[in-house]
A and B are shown apart, each in its own frame.
Chain A
Amino acid sequence: DTEVTQTPKHLVMGMTNKKSLKCEQHMGHRAMYWYKQKAKKPPELMFVYSYEKLSINESVPSRFSPECPNSSLLNLHLHALQPEDSALYLCASSRGLAGGRAKNIQYFGAGTRLSVL
């Protein structure tokens, strides 16, 4: 089973709303990631968690706030977003981070399509 589950699949929110994206995996992976993807572009890394601790924040604005409650769950809290934040938000997981050839093969969820009005 290489399944990463993301909810909701679609989300429409106003610029003053607060919402959360959720991601779950039960593969025993200890690294989890959030990516942002615009149409026909590659995913752009936002955050990396390793063993439930934030390892990388790729200079993401504070209106995006990640949270890793446990090794299976990853949330992305959204507040005061802008229309340009509309995108497909992808969660991924891997066995670990770098250090071995197969260790950080990443498996992606189906994504949340976010529209900010």
Chain B
Amino acid sequence: TQLLEQSPQFLSIQEGENLTVYCNSSSVFSSLQWYRQEPGEGPVLLVTVVTGGEVKKLKRLTFQFGDARKDSSLHITAAQPGDTGLYLCAGSSNSGYALNFGKGTSLLVTP
């Protein structure tokens, strides 16, 4: 199993603040997915990164994949209450069947 260390585990911030979530591993991944999950719902795919050094933007969210494809980050600019949820990173390898999930970051954005 390829472990993904995700940090921070919990984050409570006020509307308008910026934040970064990190996902690190000692293993190389062929791709890495970021999901957001709201209570009682399934994870919703936000982005997939596949190329080392890749940067993708989704409105106020910026995703980076490390050059060595071992780590990734999610940066949210000017967070809003609607960003509240559980953020999960998940890595795929060329040889493994399953996604390797990080433990998740529970984000609360208060007005």
Contacts and interface: CB of A to CB of B under 8 A. Distances in A.
Interface in A79-114: 88, 90, 97-102, 104-111, 113
B43 A108 contact: yes
A48 B50 CA distance: 23
Q: Interface on chain B toward A: helix, strand, loop, or mixed SS?
A: loop
Nearest to B98: A45
A21 to B, nearest CB: 13
Taking residues whose C-beta sits less than 8 angstroms from the other chain, chain A's interface range is 20 to 34
Interface residues of B, number: 28
Given A42-B104, A99-B94, A2 B45 contact: yes
B69 to A, nearest CB: 10
18 contacts: A4-B42, A40-B104, A41-B103, A42-B90, A43-B101, A45-B98, A48-B98, A56-B97, A88-B40, A90-B42, A98-B93, A102-B31, A104-B99, A105-B48, A108-B44, A110-B42, A111-B40, A111-B41
Interface of A: 2, 4, 6, 33, 40-43, 45, 48, 55-56, 88, 90, 97-102, 104-111, 113
Nearest 4 Cβ contacts at the A-B interface: A42-B101, A108-B42, A101-B50, A110-B42
Interface of B: 30-31, 33, 35, 40-45, 48, 50, 86, 88, 90, 92-99, 101-104, 106
